[in-house]
Amino acid sequence: MPDCAPPLAEVTPPSHALPAHACDSHFHVFGPADVFPYAADRPYTPPDAPFEQVRALHRRLGFSRGVIVQPGCHGYDMSATLDALDRGAGQYRAVALLAPDADERRIAELDRRGVRGVRFNFVAHLANAGWDELARVAPRIAPFGWHVCIHSDHASLIDLLPRLRTLPVPFVIDHMGRVPAQQGVDSAAFRALLALRDHAHAWVKISGLDRVSSSGARPFHDAEPLVAALLEAMPERLLWGTDWPHPNVAGDMPDDGELLNTFLRLCPDAALRSRILVDNPDRLYRFQP
């Protein structure tokens, strides 16, 4: 039985048309479990959220590109993600959970299929490989132009950032480091995040407003100052994503249209929107023309 709520069936329409080739840079594909079973040791059991469901959401919102983040419930089995990449006809890319014994041949195969990075979890309630494994993987993926994707929380973020700066590959911080909104933009953790503007290989996803909101209530207004501060500090290395279908939500289930409209309102400049939704993901994930 699923222990996560499903995403909303209906979402708010976007307030503005998105630029051509706009990219949802963070979402997941779950199952369907009867075709792509969940891992036996999974940290949670979601309801099915297959590729065709998120592709329909993208069409409603105006996205033609996206980045699938391999979820912990599927473990190292990339079957559902690779199937989605194949069906996405070049319009989708992915971030993997890479088995520790994956060799150069496996990485090359994943790269050919559209994988562009490896995710590591440093959040307490999720399976956590730890820094040693990350440090071993980074040199292996460097020749392929991949990055590491970091799912941290505010407790782990400050310790991780100096180490991440030493890596031979770019790194992406998911969900604004999950710094709680109530701590504010002047907290030590968020100041450390903002300092990444001076590191050329550091990227941040302005996603997961519900995960950093201290109220947990839509539309998560208390998280908006964090987004605004990042937009001012480092727009050339920001990515935006829905985090659909929002596994393990503690408060209100996010409305993906509301999340998008919050970004559009906080980023009214059309050129800057295009940079974050089109140019930045194109650079990092290498979409084909």
Active site residues: 243
How far apart (Å, rounded) are the C-alpha atoms in residues 191 and 98? 31
Pairing of strands 92-96, 238-240: unpaired
Q: Which residue is listed with tokens 């994988």?
A: 115
Residues 6+ apart with CB under 8 A from 100: 129, 133, 136, 137
The residue among 122, 124, 85, 116 whose CA lies nearest residue 98 is 116
How far apart (Å, rounded) are the C-alpha atoms in residues 28 and 32? 12
Residues 241 and 248: beta-carbon distance below 8 Å:
no
Residues 6+ apart with CB under 8 A from 177: 152, 153, 154, 157, 189, 190, 193, 204
How far apart (Å, rounded) are the C-alpha atoms in residues 146 and 141? 6
CA dihedral sign of residues 23, 95, 224, 165: negative
The pair of structure tokens assigned to 167 is: 């890596």
Beta bridge partners of 27: 68
